[in-house]
Amino acid sequence: MRRSLQPTQVAQVVQLMQDGTSMRAVARRFAVSVSVVSRAWRRYQETGQYIRRRGGGRRRATTQQRDSVWRRRGERSAACNILQHDRFGSGSVMVWGGISLEGRTALHVLARGSLTAIRYRDEILRPLVRPYAGAVGPGFLLMQDNARPHVAGVCQQFLQDEGIDAMDWPARSSDLNPIEHIWYIMSRSIHQRHVASQTVQELADALVQVWEEIPQETIRHLIRSMPGHCRQVIRACGGHAHY
């Protein structure tokens, strides 16, 4: 049983928790203890971040100023004795994007902090979903999960006032949304880059670039694969199925 989760896995844990999945079920799915899931969920609720800050652990017996390393003459600059530090440390970026058979919205990078219902309405629904729905025209149907900001009264009222229909969404079904596979593609592309992002802004810029580079045919294929994927879920009696 593993003791930790990768940032992309924490994002999936958060999604499942928001959909109403129990901590025990989430822990079984990722082969970790319930306490690992509990810490990840609590950290996200408190900070809006998917990864933990550096720090913690056993108290040092000395300070960094008092630490010394003895080396023989001529060894100070040897390559084996030099340790490079990544001063960026850790960070995460929360983004939102919408896809359809014939296009996609711009990728929106959210400022730090948790996504509340008011932010979802003012930063996502009003400036992004509403004009995109207008461009698609009659028959537009919004697919979103049951995350708390999505189902909040202010957001439901906004959609109703704008005449935007939203699909009824089953609980604990994040894998039924093709956008989840897009997030996986983007995460894989970011991690495969030879030059890692050094700041949160660089990470945000890289995500926007990766989003724009995804072929529309890839998005179209994922959406058209959903009927077959739903049949897999039915055969699995509601269990997890692969794209």
Q: Which residues have a Cβ under 8 Å from the Cβ of 181 and sit 6 or more positions away?
A: 222, 243
pTM of the model: 0.61
pLDDT tens digits along 198-221: 788 888 999 999 999 999 999 999
Question: C-alpha angle with apex 173: 96 to 215, nearest 5 degrees?
Answer: 45
Per-residue tokens: 19:
């959909």
Tens of pLDDT along the chain (243 residues) come to 677 887 778 888 887 887 778 888 888 888 889 888 888 888 877 666 665 544 444 555 555 555 555 556 655 555 444 444 444 445 678 899 999 999 999 999 988 778 899 999 999 999 999 999 999 999 999 999 888 999 999 999 999 999 999 998 887 777 788 898 899 899 888 888 766 777 888 889 999 999 999 999 999 999 999 899 888 888 878 766 665
As a three-state string, the secondary structure of 81-148 is HCCCCCCCCCCCCEEECCEECCEECCCEEECCCCCCHHHHHHHHHHHHHHHHHHHHCCCCEECCCCCH
Architecture of domain 94-235: 2-Layer Sandwich (3.30)
From the CA atom positions of the chain, what is the Rg in Å? 22
pLDDT of residue 76: 54
| Pairing assessment for the beta strands 141-142 and 108-110 based on DSSP bridges | unpaired
Q: Indicate the residue type of 72.
A: R
Q: Provide the percentage of residues in the chain whose pLDDT is more than 70.
A: 77
Q: Which residues have a Cβ under 8 Å from the Cβ of 173 and sit 6 or more positions away?
A: 19, 145, 233
SS3 166: strand
* Domain residue ranges of the chain, discontinuous segments joined by +: 7-47, 94-235
> Measured between alpha carbons, how far is residue 135 from residues 103, 105, 138, 218 in Å?
10, 11, 9, 21
Q: Which residues have a Cβ under 8 Å from the Cβ of 177 and sit 6 or more positions away?
A: 143, 145
Query: CA dihedral in degrees (90, 95, 101, 105; nearest 10)?
Result: -130
